[in-house]
Structure 1
Amino acid sequence: MRAIVVGAGIGGLAATLSLRRAGHEVTLVEQTPRFTEVGAGVQLAPNATRVLRELGLLDAVAARAAHPSRIHFRGWADGADICSYLLGPAVEEEFGAPYLLLHRADLHAVLAAAVPAGSVRLDTRVVGVDQDDDSAYVTTARGERLGADLVVAADGIRSAARQWLFGADRALFSGTAAYRALLPAGEVADLDLPELAVWMGPGRHFVHYWVRRGELLNMVAVVTAAAAPESWTARAEPGEQVREFAGWDPRVLSVLARAGQVLRYGIHTRAALARWNVGRLTLLGDSAHAMVPFLAQGAAQALVDAAVLGDVLTGATPAEVPGALDRYVRRRLATATNAQTGAARAGGEFHLPDGPEARARDARMAAHAAEHRFMPQSAGWTATTDADDARAP
């Protein structure tokens, strides 16, 4: 069977590998002329790293990652721990796969290296998709019409394919913007920072963790905002990020002040869909379920999408594609939509103003951590993932 995957981000690369693993011929179409180092940090929980193991890539990814032993939740003003949870060996023992912290470019590079060069068409912009009873097609900006038995649109939060399939809609501004930067470890060595921490405060939160084997500190400083462009390349004004966090713990301010190039982008999502597929065409990853990053599940959900897609199409004939895509969406839609909702809710919790609500949140978190070794969202990391469930009748 032949497939075309549109978009060579994390989801598109993983889908290509998963479909190839299922025995199918895949052409991966990407509009950029070359792969470049884009993005900053990404967290991969066991639901994601389990997929990497199935693809035979976990060791290569883990070799480039940082391996945190705990995650800390802290107050904004004095940095006192509200609670912390185990990661590290305890997570791997409990959930059967590790929790890893990576530079997004390192994850992308491992996935891209696993795709045969002959299967990738770079510098190829897709300007339309369509289908008939027997085939699906993409039309390129050069006027080519490429056919296959199915088309997987993994073309990101600004997905054109989503609009071609389901009508015009726009990325939705979340009401938050993020400052991002990477700092060499030596520049923050004197600050005694935990390996992974979320600092919560009124209308803001600050996240930092090590990537690239601990060589770099990834920082993300999120603020409530009236508007901000959805751009990975827009730069903050000098000192802007420090002013936004005035009065916070000195360690937070030190990281913000020492950051070199700081990017600022508006965090956008997409509305939840009732379905992702039509006939031989389907969405995957951010094109289907873009979410705010406050539960660190965006990349993970795309990886699990890819695993389930490959699973339902294992052994499928061209005639069976529409039914297989129906099964893919049934097995993924509720989980991905819940992740969207849960991530948005987490952002609200992180940004509570000082007062009774914030104190109640802190008390709930401390009480939960006193009784449980792992974060509440770890229920989604269990050995019975969507990918495993896809093998059930």
Structure 2
Amino acid sequence: MLTIIVVGGGLGGLSAAIGFAKSGHLVILFEGRDNFTELGAGIQMPPNFTKVMHDWGLLEHVRAKATMPKSIIFRSYRDGQVLYEHQLTPNMEDDFGMPYLMIHRKDILGVLVKAARQLRIDLQVNSPVVKVDSENQSVTIASGETYTADIIVGADGKRSLCRSTIVGSDQPQPTNTLVYRFTVDPGVIRQEPDLRYLVDPPSGIFNVALTRPDPESGRVQIGPRDADLSELQEFFSDWDPTFLKLLHATTQYLIGDAAHATTPYLAQGASQSMEDGAFLQYLFPSNTSNEEVANRLTVFCERRKLRALAVRAQAQRAGEMLEMEDGPEQEKRDLLLRQDHPIEGFPIAHADPVLQSWLYKYGVQRDVKVGMENQRG
């Protein structure tokens, strides 16, 4: 049994903690805030995400809090004309064995926190880590207490103390893209005849995520910030009138934040965190010795970096196809969409059968095995 310290209690930190605990290791998690909270609104859970939930025995708990979207509809921004509709239910379960779900961030966090407690993970809130000593494999929290471990996992966000301790100054790079997230009361939507279909059948929340170029070139936006509703209404003022009704239906303040390192066009940011946790579970069985830790961490870095960078590249491509400016290439794209013949390289990544198979049929245990075999030579 190893002793593991996890710094940070977000989705990534909790998934790593659960993965290690599932293998029988002693896990302590430090969260700087006084409770477990997630900023943001809805989060998509593609089949590779729900596969991890299933394997951890949490899928039914997730289903109880989640909604199951029927399809993803791609429309023209000009007039709302449907360009392509990709079925999610029941297609995802039929093709990949797992559902495609939508859940509020606080709800999935709650499921993970409950699971962590049942696994007897030591969850210490209001315990910000102020020092990481990589040489002595220890962390010091604000109260002055120091803890040592065989492995320290840094999951402490964009301003990561763990990362800066290991690699020094690590300045984030601008994405030049903003993401706006907010929810709209379904009751308000039902009052608009043109929008009523969006909440039929009724669901608990209606989540909206919008992307746009950052008007301040080169800006690094770390963490969420309040956003003025009027700036969105002005930017989208000449878009589809029905869409504008939705935009004007919200009375809630928006949250604006920079697009993640993994841009949101494939809904894979949180999914990759879940895969990380599952990978750690199988990479570090309960009989792992301290002498093996360094080599196994090398396998984690090599295999997960390979996967994450490939996912990021595909997400960037998906965004480029969706945000194509009007012109000949956009017209060619729209023609391909209307032909409704998804093949490899299809303009809509969610419907590309080769990409989706690679993305959703990823086997964590298989990848761990490949990594270990490669290391043995």
TM-score range, shorter chain: 0.7 to 0.9
Gaps (5+ residues) in structure 2? Answer: none
Match of 1:389 in 2: 367
Q: Which structure 1 segments of 5+ residues have no match? A: 196-208, 270-289
| Superposition deviation, residue 268 in structure 1 | 4.5
CA distance in 2, matches of 1:120, 1:210: 40
Q: Does 1:243 align with 2:211?
A: no
Q: Which residue of 1 is the match for residue 243 of structure 2? A: 252
Q: Which residue number in structure 1 is paired with residue 189 of structure 2?
A: 188
Match of 1:214 in 2: 203
Q: CA deviation at 1:219?
A: 0.6
Distance 1:220 1:32, change over 3 A: same
Deviations 1:129-163 (A, max 9, x none): 2234xx62112233322101101111122222112
**Which of 131, 134, 140 is 1:131 aligned to?**
134
Does 2:266 correspond to 1:295? yes
SS in 1 for 2:178: strand
Measure how far apart 1:365 and its partner are.
3.8
2: CA distance between counterparts of 1:337 and 1:193? Answer: 39
SS of the residue corresponding to residue 230 of structure 1 reads coil
TM-fit CA distance, 1:238: 4.2
**Counterpart in the other structure of 1:311:** 282
SS in 2 for 1:353: coil
> Retained in 1: the 8 A contact 2:128–2:142?
yes
1:375 and 1:386, CA in 2 relative to 1: closer, same or farther beyond 3 A?
farther
Matched, 1:262 2:253: yes
Say which SS state the counterpart of residue 174 (structure 2) adopts.
Answer: strand
Q: Displacement, 1:232?
A: 5.3
Contact 2:132–2:139 (8 Å) recurs in 1: yes
Taking structure 2 as the reference length, what is the TM-score of the superposition? 0.87
Counterpart-to-counterpart distance in 1, 2:200 and 2:364: 29
> Mean Cα displacement is larger for which, 5-14 or 117-126?
117-126
Point out the structure with the larger helix share: 2
Q: CA deviation at 1:32?
A: 0.6
Residue of structure 1 in register with 2:326 after alignment: 354
User: TM-score normalised to the size of structure 1?
Assistant: 0.84
Q: Which residue of 2 aligns with 1:323?
A: 295
Aligned-partner SS, 1:239:
helix
**Partner SS for 1:157:** coil
Distance apart, 1:354 and its partner CA: 1.1
Kindly report the root-mean-square deviation, in angstroms, between the aligned alpha carbons of the 2 structures: 2.5
For 1:1-393, what aligned pairs fall within 5 Å after superposition?
A: 1-36=2-37, 38-116=39-117, 119-132=122-135, 136-189=137-190, 190-192=193-195, 214-227=203-216, 230=221, 233-269=224-260, 290-314=261-285, 315-367=287-339, 369-370=341-342, 375-376=351-352, 377-391=355-369, 393=373
Supply the distance in 2 between the matched residues of 1:219 and 1:311 (Cα, whole angstroms).
Answer: 36
Contact persistence 2:10–2:37 (CA under 8 A): no
Return the alpha-carbon distance in structure 2 between the equivalents of residues 187 and 354 of structure 1: 33
How many aligned positions are there? 357
| 3-state SS of paired residue (1:235) | strand
**Which digits, 9 at most, give the CA deviation of each residue in 1:4-45, with x for residues without a partner?**
011110111111111110110100111111123521111111
Q: Deviations over 1:293-336 (max 9, x none)?
A: 12210000010011001110013122211111111222211110
SS at match of 1:337: helix
Q: Distance in 1 between matches of 2:358 and 2:228?
A: 38
Letter in 1 for 2:155: A
The structure that is strand-richer by fraction is 1
Identity %: 32
Q: Distance in 1 between matches of 2:340 and 2:157?
A: 35
Segment of structure 1 superposing worse, 359-368 or 25-34 = 359-368
Given that residues 223 and 258 in structure 2 are in contact (C-alpha distance below 8 angstroms), is that contact kept between their aligned partners in structure 1? Answer: no
State the alpha-carbon separation in 2 of the partners of residues 268 and 69 from structure 1. Answer: 26
How has the CA–CA distance of structure 1 residues 40 and 56 changed in structure 2, closer, same or farther, with 3 Å as cutoff?
same
Change in 2 beyond 3 A, CA 1:194/1:338: farther
Contact 2:177 2:213 (8 Å CA) reproduced: yes
Letter aligned with residue 364 of structure 2: D
- Is the 8 Å Cα contact of residues 134 and 166 (structure 2) preserved in structure 1? no
Cα distance in 1 for residues equivalent to 2:332 and 2:223: 35
Distance verdict in 2 for CA 1:158–1:368, change over 3 Å: farther
Given that 2:27 and 2:121 are in contact with CA atoms closer than 8 Å, whether structure 1 keeps it comes out as no
Shift of 1:231: 5.6
Residues 350 and 371 of structure 1: is their aligned pair in 2 closer, same or farther, counting only changes over 3 Å?
A: closer
Q: Distance in 2 between matches of 1:380 and 1:124?
A: 39
Secondary structure of residue in 1 paired with 2:356: helix
Equivalent-residue separation in structure 2 for 1:330 and 1:96 (angstroms): 28
Distance 2:297 2:38 in 1: 32
Q: Is the 8 A contact 1:85 1:375 kept in 2?
A: yes
CA 1:49 to 1:238, structure 2 compared with 1: closer, same or farther past 3 Å?
closer
Tell me the secondary structure at the aligned position of residue 172 of structure 1: coil
Distance 1:268 1:382, change over 3 A: closer
Whether contact under 8 Å (1:229, 1:266) holds in the other structure is no
**Would the aligned equivalents of 2:132 and 2:140 in 1 still touch at CA under 8 Å?**
yes
For residues 136 and 302 of structure 1, what CA distance do their matches in structure 2 show?
Answer: 23
Aligned partner of residue 180 in structure 2, secondary structure: strand
Q: Which amino acid aligns with 1:107?
A: I
Q: Tell me: CA distance 1:388–1:262, structure 2 relative to 1, closer, same or farther (3 Å).
A: farther
SS at 2:50 equivalent: helix
> What is the SS of the residue equivalent to 1:152?
strand
